[in-house]
């Protein structure tokens, strides 16, 4: 067999990952595994290995709830045939491998820089000289936006090619947020430092990324996550989903100039994020998740407080969403805007909420469920149209769903056991992949340790890594004035992409 099969969070010996010739590697993935619609690429990365590059590919099988791992060792600066020429979902992964290690691809259709990292293979390329796609024409014009945007948001550059008001093409250039975070995971030695890094991967997805890291680390150390920790993390993950989805509905209303919705959803979010502060002392839940322990055990009192918040939230939220989704002038802006068809979604391999809005049933809570999701009997919410409306509607329905899940969880609060850290150091020569369905979608962290148990590779993939391309494609043939709502409807992470 050319690959090994693992479950989410399962630790294996790094030596048990088959190393195969690049042709076989490519053949197994492109002509084999990826032919099955239930499979998608969860992660594909390289790292330095005895003066060569080891490529590791992780293909998630959503139907059989497992992940196939395989690898290949190639020379630096070699020229290879690309996966992307056959399957577009590898597009960014291969660009990253090219940018970081100089591996060249003979037939990659779009071999451009991803993020201009500090450790790029070719340092002569600078972010100011990104090779934008251009069309020579008297009729067309270009619009450049960013890196600094009009609002208080993260930086990125958008280059539109327009025909009058209509967008023909959008190219999104990122990299401004690059902080070298994967390298810092190797350099910063204490566990608290690594955990703090995980919390700062994307400050809007603190629970999503930190619990992914925590689960990965616990499994790397041979620690079995206790039910108390699982309970708290599941609850927090769903609560984070409610908080951010509510804020997103506010932002979508802002962008269609619907003041009432913008204010009401905005203020409804406040008690939801304040709840995190009541629980763990920080509105965005920094400090709440720790590998092997928690500093803030969940109590009956916290459960009552949660009910206080949501008894007030639910009627006002219900009233507001009813108004919004019945309002013709709002619907006119949302429906058929920024469409990503199921076909496109599948071909570029998008994940998470945006995938489900386009009819692709991809949800780690179902396909690679860990913790309590099996017990909750999670059923992903799927919409078919792939427009801004679908992505707004999915938020509304996921909010109600998450509220229900938390209510179910609260019926059975684990008794307060003593929370002690007795984590060992990571096992030597190990590999772990950890997947979580954050509010945006799939989060994937992978780690490899050396013979001493020190990290030699830490790889983070945020949902956004798959989905930025979906945004670029969704705005084609839309009016440029609809770009803001398209953008908000995806609400992708820049820092989670650039790391």
Binding site for another protein (CB under 8 A): 115-119, 127-128, 147-148, 150-155, 175-181, 183-184, 187-188, 190, 192-193, 195-197, 200-204, 206, 247, 260, 263-264, 266-267, 270, 274, 277-284, 286-287, 295, 315-316, 319-320, 323, 493-495, 498
SS3 per-residue string spanning the chain? CCCEEECCCCEEEHHHCCECCHHHHHHHHHHHHHHCCCEEEEEEEEEEECCEEEEEEEEEECCCCEEEEEEEEECCCCEECCCCCCCHHHHHHHHHHHHHHCCEECCCCCCCCCCCCCCCCCCCCCHHHCCCCCCCCCCCEEEEECCCCCCCCCCCEEEEEEECCEEEEEEEECCCCCCCHHHHHHHCCCHHHHHHHHHCCCCCCHHHHHHHHHHHHHHHCCCCCCHHHHHHHHHHHHHHHHHHHHHHHHHHHHHCCCHHHHHHHHHHHHHHHHHHHHHHCCCCCCCCCECCECCCCCCHHHHHHHHHHHHHHHHHHHHHHHHHHHCHHHHHHHCCCCCCCHHHHHHHCCCHHHHHHCCCCCCHHHHCCCCCHHHHCCCCCCCCCCCHHHHHHHHHHHHHHHHHHHHHHHCCCCCCCCCCCCCCCCCCCEEEEEEEECCCCEEEEEEEECCCCCEEEEEEECCHHHHHHHHHHHCCCCEHHHHHHHHHHHCCCCHHHHC
- Residues pairing with 444 in the sheet: 435, 461
Query: Which of 89, 177 has the CB closer to another protein?
Result: 177
Query: Which of 154, 370 has the CB closer to another protein?
Result: 154
The least distance separating another protein from the CB of residue 70, rounded to whole angstroms, comes to 30
Query: Which of 260, 384 has the CB closer to another protein?
Result: 260
Q: Are 378 and 369 in contact (CB under 8 A)?
A: yes
Query: Which of 25, 439 has the CB closer to another protein?
Result: 439
Query: Which of 236, 473 has the CB closer to another protein?
Result: 236
The least distance separating another protein from the CB of residue 319, rounded to whole angstroms, comes to 6
Query: Which of 121, 278 has the CB closer to another protein?
Result: 278
The least distance separating another protein from the CB of residue 455, rounded to whole angstroms, comes to 16
Query: Which of 203, 414 has the CB closer to another protein?
Result: 203
The least distance separating another protein from the CB of residue 175, rounded to whole angstroms, comes to 5
The least distance separating another protein from the CB of residue 352, rounded to whole angstroms, comes to 17
The least distance separating another protein from the CB of residue 166, rounded to whole angstroms, comes to 24
The least distance separating another protein from the CB of residue 448, rounded to whole angstroms, comes to 21
The least distance separating another protein from the CB of residue 32, rounded to whole angstroms, comes to 37
Q: Are 103 and 46 in contact (CB under 8 A)?
A: yes
Query: Which of 277, 408 has the CB closer to another protein?
Result: 277
Please, is 315 exposed, middle or buried when counting C-beta atoms within 10 Å of its C-beta (0-12, 13-18, 19+)? exposed
The least distance separating another protein from the CB of residue 150, rounded to whole angstroms, comes to 4
Query: Which of 196, 361 has the CB closer to another protein?
Result: 196
Q: Give the integer Cα–Cα distance in Å for 87 and 109.
A: 11
Q: Give the integer Cα–Cα distance in Å for 298 and 466.
A: 34
The least distance separating another protein from the CB of residue 194, rounded to whole angstroms, comes to 9
The least distance separating another protein from the CB of residue 174, rounded to whole angstroms, comes to 9
Query: Which of 32, 203 has the CB closer to another protein?
Result: 203
Query: Which of 220, 499 has the CB closer to another protein?
Result: 499
């Amino acid at each position: 067999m050319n690959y090994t099969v693992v479950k989410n969070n399962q630790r294996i010996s790094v030596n048990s990952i088959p190393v195969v010739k690049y042709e076989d590697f490519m053949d197994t993935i492109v002509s084999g595994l990826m032919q099955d619609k239930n499979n998608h690429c969860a992660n594909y990365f390289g790292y330095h290995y005895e003066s060569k590059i080891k490529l590791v590919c992780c293909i998630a099988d959503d139907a059989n709830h497992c992940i196939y791992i395989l690898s290949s060792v190639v020379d630096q600066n070699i020229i290879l045939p690309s996966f992307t020429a056959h399957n577009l979902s590898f597009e960014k992964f291969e660009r990253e491998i090219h940018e970081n290690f100089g591996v060249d691809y003979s037939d990659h259709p779009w071999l451009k820089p991803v993020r201009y990292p500090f450790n790029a293979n070719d340092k002569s390329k600078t972010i100011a000289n990104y090779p934008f796609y251009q069309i020579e024409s008297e009729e067309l014009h270009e619009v450049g936006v960013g890196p600094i945007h009009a609002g208080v948001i993260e930086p990125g550059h958008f280059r539109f090619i327009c025909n009058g008001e209509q967008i023909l093409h959008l190219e999104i250039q990122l990299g401004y947020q690059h902080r070298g975070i994967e390298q810092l995971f190797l350099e910063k030695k204490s566990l608290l430092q690594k955990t703090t890094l995980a919390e700062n991967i994307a400050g809007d997805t603190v629970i999503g990324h930190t619990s992914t890291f925590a689960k990965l680390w616990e499994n790397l150390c041979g620690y079995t996550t206790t039910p108390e920790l699982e309970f708290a993390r599941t609850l927090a993950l769903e609560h984070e989903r409610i908080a951010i989805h509510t804020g997103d509905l506010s932002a979508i209303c802002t962008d269609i100039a619907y003041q009432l919705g913008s204010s009401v959803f905005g203020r409804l979010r406040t008690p939801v994020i304040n709840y995190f502060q009541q629980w763990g002392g920080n509105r965005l839940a920094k400090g709440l998740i720790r590998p092997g322990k928690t500093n803030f055990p969940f109590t009956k009192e916290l459960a009552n407080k949660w009910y206080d918040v949501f008894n007030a939230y639910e009627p006002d939220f219900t009233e507001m969403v009813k108004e919004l989704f019945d309002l013709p002038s709002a619907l006119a802006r949302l429906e058929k805007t920024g469409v990503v068809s199921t076909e496109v979604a599948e071909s570029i391999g998008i994940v998470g909420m945006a995938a489900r809005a386009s009819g692709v049933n991809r949800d780690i809570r179902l396909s690679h469920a860990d913790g309590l999701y099996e017990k909750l009997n999670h059923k992903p919410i799927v919409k078919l149209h792939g427009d801004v409306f679908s992505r707004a509607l999915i938020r509304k329905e996921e909010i109600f769903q998450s509220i229900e899940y938390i209510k179910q969880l609260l019926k059975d609060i684990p008794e307060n056991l003593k929370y002690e850290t007795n984590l060992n150091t990571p096992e030597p020569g190990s590999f772990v992949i950890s997947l979580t369905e954050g509010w945006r979608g799939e989060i994937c962290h992978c780690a490899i340790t050396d013979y001493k148990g020190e990290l030699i590779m830490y790889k983070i993939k945020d949902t956004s890594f798959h989905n930025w391309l979906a945004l670029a494609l969704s705005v084609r043939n839309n009016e440029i004035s609809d770009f803001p709502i398209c953008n908000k409807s995806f609400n992708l992470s820049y820092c989670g992409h650039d790391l």
